């Protein structure tokens, strides 16, 4: 059941409104924050607009993409509602949740934890795919049949995983610098080991390279932009593994390696217009 939203802020930008809301989450058992951009088309009588979810990366909140990417210009142009959740539960009082930047607070990794210490709160996968859409669908003029998902780094991992694990829920998907094969990189090994336990077979349920081999849903074309000057390229992100997995699975993948770009929001801001066009081309096509 969808809960009650409290509006924390509202700012006009590109003819629409960038808003932030808080609510009590039953999936994470804490107060969660998320941002919603309502383009000017949302003011029209009877409007039912496509919705695009953006998942952020390690250490981020909903504010990083809202303030640094400039996406609102493209959302207004294409008439897309954009929803940006936080990256983890916060303030849960779990021992060790604030000890490191790449695990715990700010690092929910878009999984549902199974380890006893974390499973009450760290359920970002279900939050993003179930609770948050229910709230959005109940409170904003969205067309539930026109949904896309994108994200950056840990959020790029999350976006691809959510799309592959829920055939038909998202009609479009893209990612910036995703963690492509978390079962085989230090960030993934740390988070999966703590949230999901030592059984590495269980980790595969949240690994895009593994999930690609099992996908049996409506056609998807995955757009990925990756900076070639990204410090995390080889050790953590491993885009070549995703290319190989997509080729094996027969999944259409547009992998663009961008010369000179790093892992930052300067990179995202440079290409986010292309990603909005990618999503709008699918989400705005006639039914």
Structure tokens at 160: 């691809």
Phi and psi at residue 16, to the nearest 5°:
-115, -165
Angle at the Cα of 214 (from 209 to 219), degrees rounded to 5? Answer: 95
Q: Which two tokens stand for residue 10?
A: 């509202």
Q: Is 230 a catalytic residue?
A: yes
Residues 172, 230, 275, 279: which is the catalytic one?
230
Residue with tokens 């509006």: 7
Angstrom distance (rounded) from CA 94 to CA 105: 10
Alpha carbon distance 283, 143 (integer Å) = 10
CB 21, CB 34: distance < 8 Å: yes
277-to-26, 185, 241, 263 alpha-carbon distances in Å: 34, 31, 26, 21
253-258/30-38 β-pairing: unpaired
**DSSP state letter for 79:** T
Among residues 263, 275, 278, 279, the one annotated as catalytic is 263
Q: Using CA of residue 215, residue 220, residue 138, residue 72, what is the dihedral sign? A: positive
Give me the catalytic one of 153, 172, 174, 177: 153
Question: Catalytic positions, please?
Answer: 153, 230, 263
């Amino acid at each position: 059941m969808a809960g009650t939203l409290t509006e924390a802020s509202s700012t006009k930008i590109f003819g629409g409104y960038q808003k932030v809301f808080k609510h009590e989450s039953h999936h994470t058992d804490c107060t969660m924050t998320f941002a919603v951009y309502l383009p000017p088309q949302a003011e029209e009588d009877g409007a039912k607009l496509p919705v695009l979810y953006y998942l952020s990366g390690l250490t981020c909140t909903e504010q990083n993409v809202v303030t640094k990417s400039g996406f609102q210009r493209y959302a207004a142009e294409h008439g897309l509602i954009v929803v940006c959740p936080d990256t983890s539960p916060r303030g849960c009082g779990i021992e060790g949740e604030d000890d490191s930047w790449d695990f715990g607070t700010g690092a929910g990794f878009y999984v549902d934890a199974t380890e006893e210490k974390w499973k009450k709160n760290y359920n970002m996968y279900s939050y993003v795919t179930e609770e948050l859409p229910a709230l959005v669908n109940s409170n904003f003029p969205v067309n539930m049949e026109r949904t896309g998902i994108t994200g950056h780094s840990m959020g790029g991992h999350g976006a691809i995983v959510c799309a592959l694990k829920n055939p038909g829920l998202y009609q479009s998907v893209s990612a910036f610098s995703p963690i492509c094969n978390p079962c085989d990189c230090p960030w993934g090994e740390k988070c999966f080991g703590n949230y999901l336990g030592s059984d590495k077979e269980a980790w595969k349920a949240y690994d895009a390279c593994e999930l690609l081999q099992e996908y049996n849903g409506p056609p998807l074309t995955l757009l990925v932009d990756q900076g070639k000057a990204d410090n995390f390229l080889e050790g953590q992100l491993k885009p070549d593994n995703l290319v190989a997995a997509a080729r094996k699975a027969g999944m259409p993948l547009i992998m663009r390696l961008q010369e000179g770009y790093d892992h930052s929001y300067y990179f995202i801001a440079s290409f986010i217009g292309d990603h909005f066009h990618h999503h709008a081309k699918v989400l705005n096509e006639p039914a």
